[in-house]
């Protein structure tokens, strides 16, 4: 069902924006993902995911204050929309149901092998 479709990286990005709350801009999102997941993230891939999430209506962005350190360019901050929150809840519920459906024996580790 494509009710609320989130790709794996999109899900990581939107969850990270939730973690960062009011401090979610591209560099902080990249740094947080890399720190928490020990996963390298290219700015190109991140910007593509942010654009897709905005196009789906899951995120909205706004410009912050311009700063000298950024040569007068403002940071672009991201926040999760109501639709994005629904997509997150749906994604978590879907994954939880799949995890619950796995027989316990499948997840047992046989250390004798």
Domain count for the chain, please give it: 1
- What confidence score (pLDDT) does residue 2 get? 64
pLDDT in tens, the chain (113 residues): 467 889 999 999 999 999 999 999 999 999 999 999 999 999 999 999 999 999 999 999 999 877 777 667 888 999 999 999 999 999 999 999 999 999 988 888 877 65
Q: Rg for the chain (alpha carbons), in Å?
A: 17
Domain assignment present for residue 2? The answer is no
Residue 57 CA to residue 80 CA, distance in Å, equals 9
Q: What is the pLDDT of residue 70?
A: 66
Amino acid 1: pLDDT: 47
Domain that holds residue 26: 8-107
Q: What CATH number does the domain containing 53 carry?
A: 1.10.10.10
Q: Does residue 23 lie within any of the structural domains?
A: yes
Nearest to residue 73, comparing CAs of 13, 26, 32?
Answer: 26
């Amino acid at each position: 069902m494509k009710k609320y479709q989130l790709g794996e990286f999109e899900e990581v990005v939107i969850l990270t924006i939730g973690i960062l709350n009011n401090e979610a801009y591209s560099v902080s999102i990249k740094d947080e993902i890399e720190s928490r997941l020990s996963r390298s993230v290219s700015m190109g891939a991140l910007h593509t995911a942010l654009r897709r999430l905005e196009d789906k209506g899951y995120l909205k962005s706004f410009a912050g204050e311009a700063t000298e350190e950024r040569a007068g360019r403002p940071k672009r901050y991201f926040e999760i929309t109501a639709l994005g929150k629904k997509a997150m809840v749906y994604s978590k519920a879907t994954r939880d149901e799949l995890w619950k459906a796995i027989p316990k024996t499948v997840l047992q580790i046989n250390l004798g092998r």
